[in-house]
C-alpha cells in the first residue's frame, strides 16, 4: 500500500505534455494497485499564493502564540503539508518555464517547506543547521521542455528545473528521485517524437520498479 501525492504544475489544461505523463503514471500505478491512494493537487490551475511577511512571522512564532489571523494565513500551508506528510511518493509533473520551475510550483514549495513542520533548524549542527523532519520519500519528476539536451550535455547548464526540485524536495524528506523528461517540444521534429515516445515508454517500467521497491521495503 503506497500513498502518492501528485502535483501538476502546467498552466495548460489541454495539450500539456507533463499532464499527459501524469495521467499515464496514475493509470499505470492504479492498474497494478487499484486500492492505493493518489492525492492530486493542481497548482497549475489553482496556484497557491506567494508567501507574505505575515506568513513568515506566523511560522516563526510558537504555535500557542499564533492569533486567529496568523492561523488564517497558514490555513493553506497546513492543508498542503497535511497532503504531503503521509505521502511515500511525491510525483511532480511540471513544465520548464524560463529555465526553472513554474512560479506556481515554487509557490507550492514555499508553502510546504516550513520550519518545525517539514524541517528543523539548529545552529548546534554547525554549518548545516537545517535538517528535514521526514525521510524515506521518493520523488518522481515528470517534466516537459521546449528545448533539448537539458538533462545531459548540450544545454545542461540551462537546467535549473530538475536540480532545484531535487534540492528543495530534500527538505520534504525525499531521499531518492526518478526523472522522466520530454524535451524538444518547441522543435516538433523527430527529436521531439523520439523524446516523447521514450518518456511515454519509460512510465510502465518506472512504476513496476517503484512497486517492487515498495513491496521489498514492506516485507
Ligand X SMILES: Cc1cc2nc3c(=O)[nH]c(=O)nc-3n(C[C@H](O)[C@H](O)[C@H](O)COP(=O)(O)O)c2cc1C
Q: 192-200: long-range contacts (C-beta < 8 A, 24 or more apart)?
A: 195/148, 196/17, 199/21, 199/142, 200/21, 200/24
Contact residue for ligand X among 87, 89, 91, 96 (CB under 6 A): 96
Backbone φ, ψ for residue 29 (5° rounding): -60, -50
Contact residue for ligand X among 16, 118, 169, 195 (CB under 6 A): 16
Q: How far is the CB of 21 from ligand X (least distance, A)?
A: 8
Residues 135-164 contacting ligand X, CB under 6 A: 144-147
The verdict on whether residue 2 carries a ligand-binding annotation is: no
Whose Cβ is closer to ligand X: residue 100's or residue 173's? 100
> 79: how many CB neighbours lie within 10 A of its CB?
14
Which of 133, 135, 136 is closest to 116 using CA atoms? 133
Pairing of strands 119-121, 89-95: unpaired
If you ran DSSP here, which 8-state letter would residue 97 be given? B
185 binding ligand X? (CB under 6 A):
yes
Q: How far is the CB of 24 from ligand X (least distance, A)?
A: 13
The verdict on whether residue 18 carries a ligand-binding annotation is: yes
The verdict on whether residue 31 carries a ligand-binding annotation is: no
Q: Which residues bind ligand X (CB under 6 A)?
A: 10, 12, 16-19, 95-99, 144-147, 185-186
Binding site for FMN: which residues?
A: 10, 16-18
Amino acid at each position: 500500500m503506497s500513498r502518492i501525492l501528485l502535483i501538476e504544475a502546467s498552466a495548460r489544461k489541454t495539450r500539456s505534455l507533463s499532464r499527459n505523463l501524469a495521467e499515464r503514471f496514475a493509470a499505470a500505478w492504479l492498474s497494478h494497485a487499484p486500492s492505493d491512494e493518489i492525492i492530486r493537487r493542481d497548482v497549475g490551475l489553482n496556484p497557491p499564493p506567494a508567501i507574505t511577511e505575515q506568513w513568515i512571522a506566523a511560522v516563526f512564532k510558537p504555535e500557542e502564540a499564533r492569533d486567529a489571523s496568523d492561523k488564517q494565513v497558514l490555513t493553506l500551508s497546513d492543508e498542503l503539508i497535511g497532503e504531503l506528510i503521509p505521502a511515500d511518493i511525491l510525483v511532480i509533473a511540471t513544465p520548464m518555464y524560463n529555465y526553472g520551475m513554474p512560479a506556481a510550483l515554487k509557490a507550492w514549495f514555499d508553502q510546504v517547506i516550513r520550519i518545525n513542520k517539514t524541517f528543523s533548524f539548529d545552529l548546534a549542527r554547525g554549518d548545516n543547521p537545517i535538517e528535514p523532519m521526514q525521510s524515506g520519500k521518493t520523488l518522481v519528476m515528470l517534466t516537459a521542455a521546449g528545448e533539448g539536451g537539458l538533462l545531459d550535455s548540450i544545454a545542461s547548464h540551462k537546467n535549473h528545473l530538475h536540480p532545484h526540485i531535487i534540492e528543495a524536495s530534500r527538505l520534504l524528506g525525499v531521499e531518492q528521485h526518478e526523472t522522466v523528461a520530454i524535451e524538444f517540444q518547441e522543435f516538433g521534429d523527430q527529436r521531439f517524437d523520439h523524446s516523447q515516445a521514450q518518456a511515454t515508454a519509460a512510465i510502465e517500467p518506472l512504476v513496476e520498479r517503484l512497486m517492487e521497491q515498495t513491496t521489498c521495503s514492506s516485507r
